[in-house]
Structure 1
């Protein structure tokens, strides 16, 4: 059972900084091309003032694997694989922080993961908790909870794609002191999604940010891969739930930039003189209902 506690660190380092969400189109199986594209986009984002750069889910490998053998062949070690090492090197050189999706190999197990690199090197890894559709054929569910990392920018957590559908993901992050959640994602059209409306994922992201007083930065991919379309719409949402950048286009590669003020995000959790979005929680009532024992069979 994972243990959750506040991230350690001095809140005095909180400041405003620029985030870049890279919306790109990885190619399935083209690891060298994907890495070269990612590094080019990171260079561009850094030149434009980004201190934190987020790339899509499985940005190094592509997403729609034919079978587990293909997923295994495209998976890498973290932090000792070529993609992780390249991101460490460019993060050091450009003095930036990078979050990117990657197929992670750990022994015989595969994880849909996000690596985190910074000017000091490898910071950590997050393993996707909630696997979507055929991901369950290839990957193990995440086994490291929702870690929060102290950085000079603020306290940063990660989630991946379908994790956004589960409010508990963000609540665990914020209750450990997170200021921001970075979300590498490969959002796909949802059942009954109208073509003329924003993706459901953007609404869920805004709701999660507002209900937790936490900023969220989502980097999606675009394109069609082995008949699977992706919806783009990368966005950066402030702690009040309103986008500060995006949503991006549904079909174009681009970089979305937004500024997050960490001190303002923390202060904004007080909605008025009497209400605070975290302190008003009624944990005495609903915490016992949130464990694995209730309900026995979800309706």
Structure 2
């Protein structure tokens, strides 16, 4: 934090752990998520971010298997447990799960706070076999107003689409919580600094949009698939605040930030300003996006 008084001080925690697929693993996955969230609270975090599909694991055997892992939101048992946790500790919690809505399934992130359920985001860009069981998200890219600031959500493969963080920040997001199951990508998987490509995409998105991004990934192996770790919290300047998590360790990364600083104009010199320099005469300011309730229809 700077020496000035913080307007919206937040201690962010991104949780990196190893949820395993399988109905018999679900109680343990949920227990682990709550145990690690409790550790974050003990270390004074008040915004806690869990990975994508934190209560189920990732590699479902079939659509029917995914359906059996899924639950309704907010009535489902995992969401209710996370709601109770956030209310009891008076914190904000973001978590990923498989959502069942009628016969449709969604890869969903929920935002919960001291007063209960705040909102959800359904993953817009589906990766690989996710397309065989999940429906692409239909809620757009919402930004949620909270007492600590404006919070946007995105999930994993979304970071490869620069439109997502751009649209979230154009709607005023102070921080984007990125929930991930980043898998091994074409080699090299890591550079000499230990970062993966998703690390750099996260840093770049934070840099070019003047926004904080808290990215929680998972670790471990599942049915032969390996996950990359590399969770991080990127500052508005793009660089990680503190460390980037290793590839194979359960850990929690923390950052003390003032969310209000994301609202300052990113003027780097007397002639360049990121927002002012956008050529909205050549492309639409919101890239054609019209789902935010504050925008005219």
User: 52, 69, 72: which is aligned to 2:64?
Assistant: 69
Query: RMSD value over aligned CA atoms?
Result: 1.7
User: 244, 254, 262: which is aligned to 1:265?
Assistant: 262
Q: Is the 8 A contact 2:53 2:96 kept in 1?
A: yes
User: 279, 284, 287: which is aligned to 1:282?
Assistant: 279
Q: Which runs of 5+ in 2 are unaligned?
A: 1-5, 290-297
C-alpha deviations, 1:241-265, integer Å up to 9, x for none?
0100331010000111012212222
The yes-or-no answer on 1:236 pairing with 2:239 is no
C-alpha deviations, 1:36-65, integer Å up to 9, x for none?
111111111011010100000000100001
C-alpha deviations, 1:77-107, integer Å up to 9, x for none?
1100001111111101001000011000111
Q: Is the 8 A contact 1:193 1:200 kept in 2?
A: no
Q: Is the 8 A contact 2:50 2:94 kept in 1?
A: yes
The yes-or-no answer on 1:28 pairing with 2:28 is no
Deviation at residue 15 of structure 1 after TM alignment:
1.2
Change (3 A) 1:289 1:238: closer
C-alpha deviations, 1:154-175, integer Å up to 9, x for none?
1000000000001100111011
Deviation at residue 289 of structure 1 after TM alignment:
12
In the alignment, what sits opposite 1:246? 243
Deviation at residue 280 of structure 1 after TM alignment:
1.7
The yes-or-no answer on 1:54 pairing with 2:49 is yes
The yes-or-no answer on 1:153 pairing with 2:160 is no
Deviation at residue 288 of structure 1 after TM alignment:
9.5
3-state SS of paired residue (2:36): helix
The yes-or-no answer on 1:217 pairing with 2:210 is no
User: 130, 140, 154: which is aligned to 2:125?
Assistant: 130
Q: Does 267-276 or 101-110 show the bigger shift?
A: 267-276
Change (3 A) 1:199 1:264: same
User: 71, 76, 81: which is aligned to 1:81?
Assistant: 76
3-state SS of paired residue (1:159): strand
**Take 1:93 and 1:227, find their aligned partners in 2: how far apart are those partners?**
38
**Take 2:281 and 2:244, find their aligned partners in 1: how far apart are those partners?**
37
**Take 1:72 and 1:171, find their aligned partners in 2: how far apart are those partners?**
32
Change (3 A) 1:188 1:276: same
Change (3 A) 1:94 1:107: same
3-state SS of paired residue (2:78): helix
TM-score when normalising by structure 2: 0.91
**Take 2:137 and 2:188, find their aligned partners in 1: how far apart are those partners?**
28
User: Where does 1:182-201 land on structure 2 (aligned, <5 Å)?
Assistant: 182-197=177-192, 198-201=195-198
